[in-house]
Structure formats: C-alpha cells, structure tokens
Amino acid sequence: MIATQTLLEVRELRASYGEIEALRGVSFTVEPGAIVALLGANGAGKTTCLRAVTGMVKRSGSIAFEGTDISGRATEDIARLGVAHVPEGRGTLAELSVRENLAVGGYLLDTARAKERYARVVSYFPWIEARSKQQAGTLSGGEQQMLAIARALMMDPKLILLDEPSLGLAPRIVEEIFALLHTINREENVTILLAEQNAAMAFATASHVYVLETGRVAAEGASAVLARDDRVRKSYLGH
C-alpha cells in the first residue's frame, strides 16, 4: 500500500511582529482531504499560523506543501500552488460587486475554467447569481463570509485556510456555514485548515485539532479524544 503524502507539514514555525514573538516553534500536519482546526483564544497565534503559511508575515522554520518547501515563497506563488486564504473579518472587497469579488478569486484561471468554477460556486451559494451585481459591502455579515469562501473556491484550491469564520455571526448562520464547509470538503475534495475560537464548532467540524496557547501547541489529537480531555474541556467548553 502506498502511503498518502502529507499535504501540509509545518515544523518549528516561528514568527514575530516587531519584538513580539507570536509563534514559538509551532508544528502541525494536515493530511489530504481532512478538516483540521487550530483552536485557541485571542492572541494564541492562530491567525499568525495561517498568515505564515501563505507568506504574509516574516517567519522561520519549515513549511512544506505537497512535499515542496514553500517557506521562502511569496504569497502569490503559494496561491498558484493551490492554497486559498480566507482572512479574519471576511476579507471581501467591499466596493466591488459580488461578481467582481468572484472574478478576483478566479484571476489565475483561463476564461473557460473561470466560467466552470463560477457555475460550481453558485451551486453551493445559489443566492449569488441573483445578487451578482450587488455591492459586496452591502451584504449581511453572514453573506460576506459566504462570499469570502466562494471567492476562495473560485481558485479551485487544494487547501483552504479559514480564519475565524464564525466571528460575529448568529448561531444559525454559523451552523449553515459549517454545514457548507462539510459539503465543500466532501464534494470538492478540498482540504481545510480552520482557525477558530468556537471550540464546539471546531470539535464538531474537524477530524484533528491543535490547541494553541501563547504561540505554542499546548495539546493536539483527534477531535473525539481531545474533546474529552479534562484540561481542554474546562478551558474551552466550560465543563
């Protein structure tokens, strides 16, 4: 039996903002087709991990994507390899229309492929077609989060990095978005690395969870196992 190659492998990742060290030797792996969560409070280093993977912050350590070292590559080069990043706060281009936001997501594709991806994206977010000319900044918070995910999907990525997709949204909208993530993961065969404070959603969605505290991995394991860990339960689930 041939072993499946790890999609993303991060070893001893360090990153700083000025003199403030945000990551202190973080290591984690993401297998193809998985949903993996980085769980932690504000300031734990979750966002910095995602930014480091995509080359948006100065970092050191080893980052390998499909076995290739990407630790010295620029953000656009990493995107071309099939890594899409949905930043915290949705990251929609507020002044552009819904359709124009999606066009930005598909800028690496030729015209025929972009049309194909647009049709596929609309199948997950049917409201997009009817509101394609609407200015993105006038959408609700939940719709903007969905548009940000849709824009990432336009790239036809192998890996999507999602930063706090539940932030500031009503529970019903959060449930809808996370259900869609499961569907997209399954039907698109796209791997997801999720940074999330909502422990209940992280454990329910991901197969494997890494708990970050002050820039380090404090605990890691299968979701079902880690959710029963007394220390993790008391810190993040409140019981």
CATH number at residue 212: 3.40.50.300
The tokens describing 206, both together, are 């991901």
Within-domain flag for 150: no
pLDDT at 36: 98
pTM recorded for the entire structure: 0.92
Within-domain flag for 21: yes
Within-domain flag for 79: yes
pLDDT at 2: 45
Print pLDDT tens along the chain (239 aa): 444 589 999 999 999 988 889 999 999 999 999 999 999 888 899 999 999 999 999 899 999 999 999 999 999 999 999 999 999 876 788 889 999 999 999 988 889 999 999 999 999 999 999 999 999 999 999 999 999 999 999 999 999 999 999 888 899 999 999 999 999 999 999 999 999 988 888 899 999 999 999 999 999 999 999 988 888 777 765 54
Summarize the chain as % helix, strand, coil (round to 5). Answer: 40, 25, 35
Cα atoms found within 13 Å of the Cα of residue 14, Cβ hemisphere only: 9
At residue 171's C-alpha, the angle toward residues 168 and 176, to 5°, is: 105
pLDDT at 1: 40
pLDDT at 238: 58
CA–CA distance, 48 with 64 (Å, rounded to integer):
17
pLDDT at 97: 96
Within-domain flag for 229: yes
Tokens 């990742």 sit at which residue? 13
Within-domain flag for 56: yes
pLDDT at 4: 59
pLDDT at 234: 73
pLDDT at 135: 95
Helix axes 171-187, 111-124, angle to 10 degrees: 130
Within-domain flag for 98: no
- SS3 for 127? helix
Amino acid residing at 166: S
CA–CA distance, 96 with 136 (Å, rounded to integer):
6
Within-domain flag for 137: no
Total number of domains in the chain: 1
CA–CA distance, 127 with 46 (Å, rounded to integer):
31
- For the chain, the maximum distance between any two Cα atoms, rounded to a whole number of angstroms, is 52
Distances (CA, A) of 98 to 64, 90, 133: 33, 13, 6
pLDDT at 126: 93
Within-domain flag for 129: no
- The residue range of the domain holding 77 is 8-91+157-237
48-66: b or e for each residue (b if 16 or more CB lie within 10 Å)? bbbbbbbbbbebebebbbe
Q: How many CB atoms lie within 10 A of CB 110?
A: 9
pLDDT at 237: 59
